[in-house]
Amino acid sequence: MFRSILLLLVIAIVLGVLLWKFEFVALAFSWLLAICFPIILGVVFAFVLNIPMRNIESGFLKSKKKWVHKIKRPVSLLVSVLIVLAILATFVVLVVPMFFEALKTLYFTLQDLVLEYAAWFGSFGFAESDLMGFFNNLSIDWNDLGNQAFDWVKFSLQNVLGQTFFVLTQVLNGAVNVILAFIIAIYILACKEKLKEQIKAVLKAVFAPKIFDKIRKVLRICNVTFSAFLSGQILEALILGTLCFVGMAIFQFPQAGMISALIGILALVPLVGAYVGCALGAFIILAQNPLQALLFVVFFIILQQIEGNLIYPRVVGSQVGISPLWVIIAIIIGGGLFSIPGIFFAVPVMSVIYQLVRESTYNKLDRLNMR
């Protein structure tokens, strides 16, 4: 009883301090998160690369030759990295140039529209000499206007230079973090068994046996659930990209293959990513045919409603072991609390919570003979 009261007292004091110094705690947490970000990102990279690497390594286990088993880890890791890099390179080579080409085409299209409207206004009798006379009769202090324009340009250039330096700094910092994270991921995967045993030994030394068993169980559920979720998310993205390509081919939308690939890749981010891909695809089509761009948006909204309410909950829900209803609820809550990261991780987190609560509930009902 005394230990329980003491524990509750400690928890109350900690919560009180956190609420009293909330801004300081939030600032310290942000600072710590920024420092640990490459490590966290490296763990994420390692988790993603481990899925194909694990499947590739299983193929080596069929061989009984010793030299095959010696090279299974480096070869599997190299092939996994090459697969991920190939996907990223395909995205950059195929999608990015087409996007900028669409931007260029749209610019010239808008320029032609401006010239057409200028000619249309000219048909109403607005000749060039009349316009020049109108501007000459205006009482404008051109020197003062020029000085104001010069000051505005100078101020704008200063802001642009400052923003450019800030953006370059952020890009460089992000590139360094990604490189460090990639290196960390390689080291984690190269010795994942040894690292697993070290973590297991630390947990055994710190926690009591019952608590250690619970922690190990939760970690095992998290590993299985997140792996299944990622596999289901990839499958769902392939389904959406394929359906989008078939629909665009039927309705004869331009750039069907490239836009479908773009939507499929961005669909790895649940719900939100597909709509971003739709916006980019509509922008690309807009440069060629504005009416088709509008029809494409309508087509994709209908497709996304079908996919989001029928296919996604069943495909991803079946992979993580929860019903479609809980998938939708998890996405709504996760997105509302943590935006895009919350949307992406909401489903596996909900699955872990669901499994733990279900098992705890059934165990308690069994002890009470109420099941």
Residue 308 scores a pLDDT above 90: no
Q: pLDDT category, 215, cuts 50, 70, 90?
A: confident
Nearest to 330 by CA among 266, 235, 307, 316: 316
- The 10s digit of each residue's pLDDT in 109-136 is 666 666 665 666 555 555 545 544 555 5
Tell me the CB-side half-sphere exposure of residue 283, using CA atoms within 13 A: 18
- 3-state SS, 288-335, equals CCHHHHHHHHHHHHHHHHHHHHHHHHHHHHHHHCCCHHHHHHHHHHHH
pLDDT for the residue numbered 295: 92
Residue pointed to by tokens 């809980």:
326
Q: pLDDT category, 159, cuts 50, 70, 90?
A: low
266 close to 276: Cβ distance less than 8 angstroms: yes
Put residue 214 in one of left, alpha, beta given phi > 0 → left and psi -120 to 50 → alpha.
alpha
pTM score of the predicted model: 0.63
pLDDT for the residue numbered 22: 66
347-370: average pLDDT = 78
pLDDT for the residue numbered 17: 67
- The 10s digit of each residue's pLDDT in 22-43 is 677 667 777 787 788 888 888 8
Residue 187 scores a pLDDT above 80: yes
- 3-state SS, 160-171, equals HHHHHHHHHHHH
90-96: average pLDDT = 69
Residue 199 scores a pLDDT above 80: yes
- The 8-class DSSP code of residue 369 comes to T
Q: At what angle do helices 209-250 and 312-320 cross, to 10 degrees?
A: 160
Q: How far apart are CA 300 and CA 9, in angstroms?
A: 55
Q: How far apart are CA 309 and CA 253, in angstroms?
A: 25
Nearest to 310 by CA among 322, 296, 328: 328
Give the Cβ contact number of residue 221 at 10 Å.
18
Residue 299 scores a pLDDT above 90: yes
- Span of 76-85, 152-161, 268-277 with lowest mean pLDDT: 152-161
- The 10s digit of each residue's pLDDT in 160-169 is 555 666 656 7
- The 10s digit of each residue's pLDDT in 242-255 is 889 999 999 888 87
The burial of 284, by beta-carbon neighbours within 10 Å (0-12 exposed, 13-18 middle, 19 or more buried), is given as buried
pLDDT for the residue numbered 298: 92
Q: pLDDT category, 296, cuts 50, 70, 90?
A: very high
Q: pLDDT category, 221, cuts 50, 70, 90?
A: confident
Query: In the chain, what percentage of residues exceed pLDDT 90?
Result: 2
State both tokens at 309.
Answer: 């309410």
Which has more confidence, 107 or 178?
178
Q: Which residues contact 271 (CB under 8 A, 6 or more apart)?
A: 308, 312, 331, 335, 343
pLDDT for the residue numbered 264: 83
**Interior/surface letters 233-259, b for 16+ CB within 10 angstroms, e for the rest:** beebbebbbebbbebbeeeebbbbebb
253 close to 259: Cβ distance less than 8 angstroms: yes
State both tokens at 243.
Answer: 């359906």
Q: In angstroms, what CA-CA distances link 64 with 52, 57, 78, 190?
A: 22, 13, 22, 22
pLDDT for the residue numbered 53: 85
Q: How far apart are CA 283 and CA 264, in angstroms?
A: 17
Residue ranges of domains in the chain: 27-118+173-206, 207-371
316 close to 330: Cβ distance less than 8 angstroms: no
Query: In the chain, what percentage of residues exceed pLDDT 70?
Result: 67
Residue 186 scores a pLDDT above 70: yes
